[in-house]
Amino acid sequence: MQHDVLKRLFLTTPEDTDRLGHWFARTLRGGDTLLLEGGIGAGKTHLARAMIQAMQARHGRAEDVPSPTFTLVQTYEAGPDEIWHADLYRVGGPDEVIELGLHDAFGTAICLVEWPDRLGADAPEAALKVRLTPDAEGRRVEFFGAAPWADRLASLAEVAADA
């Protein structure tokens, strides 16, 4: 299902991306899914890592967050929530996503999914799509999602300049 753009941001520096990650860390809860779109070097893993480490820090944990490119899925604990960080680049299609157990995680865990096009029609309806595009020295970010996300994104203004 297609959604209109809910919001646009411009991240000038890597620190802006970190701040966006910290904002998400305060906002996300179990059952939320972020679909992180963008090509190589768009900053998907950087944003996901910032979120995971900030969520863990809130619960007094600190762990490495290696790139999931090789292992496809890595899971983390943050307080009561489980975080799934997936990179579906090497996954063939929706059937293989089922094998990863991602569908079961969608309902309960906080799921951060890179290369989500591999989900096909199985992407959760309530997910927030975050599209990252390199632009000059910074990154453009566009958010797409169902209505509840419009409200949740309202407090995002302080993170970075609206594009």
Partner 1 sequence: MDAPLLAFDTSAAHCAAVVVREGRVVQQAFEPMARGQAEALMPLLERLLQAERLAWRDLGAIGVGIGPGNFTGIRISVSAARGLALGLGVPAIGLSTFELMLDGAGLPSASDLVSVAAPRDRAYVQRFAHGRPVDGPELIDLGTPTEFTLPPETRVVGYEAQAIARATGATGDEAEIDDLPARLAAVLTRKAAEGAPAKRPAPLYVRPADAAPSRDAPPEILA
Partner 2 sequence: MSRTLTLLGIESSCDDTAAAVVRATGDPKILSSVVIGQTALHGSYGGVVPEIAARAHAEKLDDCVSEALDRAGLALGQMDGIAVTAGPGLIGGVLSGVMCAKGLAAATGLPLVGVNHLAGHALTPRLTDDLPYPYLMLLVSGGHCQFLIVEGADRFRRLGGTIDDAPGEAFDKTARLLGLPQPGGPSVQAAAAEGDPGRFRFPRPLLDRPGSDMSFSGLKTALLRERDALVAAQGGLYERDRADMCAGFQRAVTEVLAEKTRRALAEYLCLAPRHPALAVAGGVAANSSIRAALDAVAQWAGAAFVAPPLALCTDNAAMIAWAGIERMQIGLVDDMTLAARPRWPLDNGSAPMLGGGKRGAKA
Facing residues of 162 across strands? 9
Q: What is Dmax (Cα atoms) for the chain?
A: 40
Per-residue interface string for the shown chain with partner 2, residues 91-110, x marking contact by CB under 8 A: xx---x--x-----------
Q: Please identify which residue in the block is written with the tokens 């209505």.
A: 147
Range in contact with partner 2 (rule: CB under 8 A) among 10-18, 102-110, 111-119, 121-129: 10-18
Residue of the chain from 92, 125, 137, 158 that contacts partner 1 (CB under 8 A): 92
Instruction: Tell me the C-alpha to C-alpha distance, in Å, between residue 142 and each of 73, 81, 102, 106.
Output: 24, 26, 24, 22
What is 46-67 written as a DSSP string?
Answer: HHHHHHHHHHHHHTT-------
Per-residue interface string for the shown chain with partner 1, residues 52-91, x marking contact by CB under 8 A: -------------------------------------xxx
**Interaction between residue 99 and partner 1 (CB under 8 A):** yes
Residue of the chain from 81, 82, 122, 142 that contacts partner 1 (CB under 8 A): 122
- The answer to whether 63 touches 76, Cβ cutoff 8 Å, is yes
Footprint on this chain of partner 1 (rule: CB under 8 A): 39-40, 89-96, 98-99, 104, 115, 117-118, 122
